Amino acid sequence: MTPLRRDIAASIALVAAMAVVPLIFDTRYVITQLTVFFIWGIVVTQWNLVLGVAGIFSLAQMALFAVGAYGTAMLAYYGGMAMVPAMVIASLATVGVSLVIGFACLRLKGPYVALLTLAIAQMLYLIVVNDTGCFTNPPSGCLPLLGGVRGFSRFGDLGFRDLLGSKWFVGHYYVGLGLLLVAQVFCAFLIRGPLGLAFRALRDNPGYAMSRGVGRLKYQLWVFGLSAFFTGLAGAFYVAHFGVVGPIVFSVSMLLFLLAMIVVGGMGTVWGPLLGAAVLMIADEGLREVGDWREIGLGLVLAGFVILLPRGLVGLRRR
């Protein structure tokens, strides 16, 4: 069996196993936490493609997530659009934004890319938060065009409340699981397929690869744009699931949490990011008691893994 088929088979097996979970545990807490895990799983698998496979040191991933999330919320809130078309349009808009960022940043080298993407993310955050003029005046009070500090709420949902009644969250669980399956299979295709091969060639022998017509910028833009689609979609689903979106999606601690998932699991591998996401979410659950120390713990985990175990948990097995 080729590695690609093995990965796809593993993905399907895992999803099948996860699909049984709501039939066994039907406590809302477990199901909702797992749905959140699916969302972060999509984000980290896609970010991992950008960081670990294409070698683009971008920190704009949560900004792209936010574009998908805010886009969906604003289309539904102002345009009165149904959730599903809003989600698709917002995801496509995310691709557009990512291509603009890509054209501005990808000509630069590693650390410049990191700083510039971080600056762009920060700029978007400031634009959202500093927007204080009232655009509309709903009953809940003044609402700026981009939602301001408060963000958006009450813009509709996926309609599972009518369909499943009090078990609506199970609907979200399956939607999230389905999206994660698609994202993970895409990720496996990219790493094992021609694009992944192109990047491996560019890494191992850049001169030969480029003389054979494998241009770095072109392939980097492809990965950046395609992964932005799923990232935006994850953002859109986040909005549909929680029913609110606010500037917290830009926060540094969230960026740190997701970056730590990739580093802990193993950057550039097919399964590392998902493993890291699972480990860190469980650890986070355990650390809920000592909430104040969460940031210190995250920082230590991030630094410790980079220093002592730079290839992550997946790298342990290969040694």
Site residues (vs another protein, CB under 8 A): 57, 104, 107-112, 114-116, 118-120, 122-123, 126-127, 130, 206-207, 210, 252-253, 256, 259-260, 263, 292-293, 295-296, 298-304, 306-308, 310
Q: How far is the CB of 112 from another protein (least distance, A)?
A: 6
Q: Which is nearer to another protein, 109 or 317 (CB)?
A: 109
**Shortest spacing between CB 287 and another protein, in angstroms:** 13
d(CA 121, CA 110): 17
Contact 25, 167 (CB under 8 A): no
Which of 89/118 has CB closer to another protein? 118
Could you write out the DSSP letters of every residue in 67-93? HHHHHHHHHHHHH---HHHHHHHHHHH
Closest to another protein by CB, 198 or 259: 259
Helix 272-286 crosses helix 28-48 at what angle (to 10 degrees)? Answer: 140
Contact 88, 256 (CB under 8 A): no
Give the pair of three-digit tokens for residue 114.
């990191």
Residue placing its CB nearer to another protein in the complex, 123 or 182: 123
Measured over the CA atoms of residue 211, residue 95, residue 35 and residue 251, the dihedral's sign is positive
Closest CB to another protein among residues 162, 292: 292
* Closest CB to another protein among residues 88, 256: 256
Least CB distance to another protein at residue 302 (A): 3
Name the minimum Å distance from CB 220 to another protein. 15
CB of residue 189 to another protein, shortest distance in Å: 25
- 244-245 and 152-153 strand pairing: antiparallel
Least CB distance to another protein at residue 83 (A): 31
| Least distance CB 286 / another protein (angstroms) | 18
Dihedral Cα 202, 203, 207, 208, nearest 10 deg? -60
Q: Where are the alpha helices (DSSP H) in the chain?
A: 3-24, 28-48, 61-79, 83-105, 110-130, 160-164, 168-192, 194-204, 206-211, 216-242, 252-265, 272-286, 294-308, 312-318
- Yes or no: say if 93 and 232 are a contact pair by the CB < 8 Å rule: yes
Q: Looking at beta carbons only, is 64 or 116 nearer to another protein? A: 116
Q: Which is nearer to another protein, 163 or 316 (CB)?
A: 316
Which position has the token pair 């998908």? 68
To the nearest whole angstrom, how small is the minimum distance from the Cβ of residue 72 to another protein? 24
